[in-house]
Amino acid sequence: MSYGDDLERVKSVAMDEVKKIEELLPEEGIDFYFTAIGDSTYNFMLRYWVQFNSNDDYCKGMNDVIIRIKKRFEQEGISIAYPVTTLDFGVKGGVNLFDKEINIKS
């Protein structure tokens, strides 16, 4: 999630979606922790327990949560951030490249 998102809302939405998966063992609880401030994001960890009879149960539980959270974040307007790269062409003073004609010597 991006820097502009409300942290409490992100936590609430993510935990709400975990509660909806059929594999969840609700009596074991759900843990949510913000773990880092990244280059473009606030990172979080979400822990929950699922009924585990085979590795497929684990994979399905993880898959279902990821799909549900992504869809819900889209509905709620919560950003799934991506790395942003800034290119510096030696323009001084923070001038936007589109504001000024640039002459390129050949």
Q: Is the pLDDT of residue 38 over 70?
A: yes
Residue with tokens 């809302």: 9
The tens digit of pLDDT for each residue in 43-93 reads 999 999 998 889 999 999 999 999 999 999 999 999 887 776 777 666 666
pLDDT mean over 22-44? 91
Q: Where are the domains of the chain?
A: 1-106
- Is 1-106 CATH 3.30.470.30? no
Q: End-to-end distance of the chain based on CA atoms, in angstroms?
A: 43
- As a whole number of angstroms, the distance between CA 98 and CA 86 comes to 15
Question: pTM score, two decimals?
Answer: 0.72
Alpha-carbon gap, residue 4 to 69, rounded angstroms: 18
Q: How far apart are CA 71 and CA 20, in angstroms?
A: 13
Chain centre to alpha carbon of residue 11: 11
Among residues 82, 77, 89, the alpha carbon closest in space to that of 6 is found at 77
Cα–Cα dist 32/68, whole Å = 16
| 70: Cβ contacts below 8 Å, ≥ 6 apart | 80
What are 21's two structure tokens? 């998966």
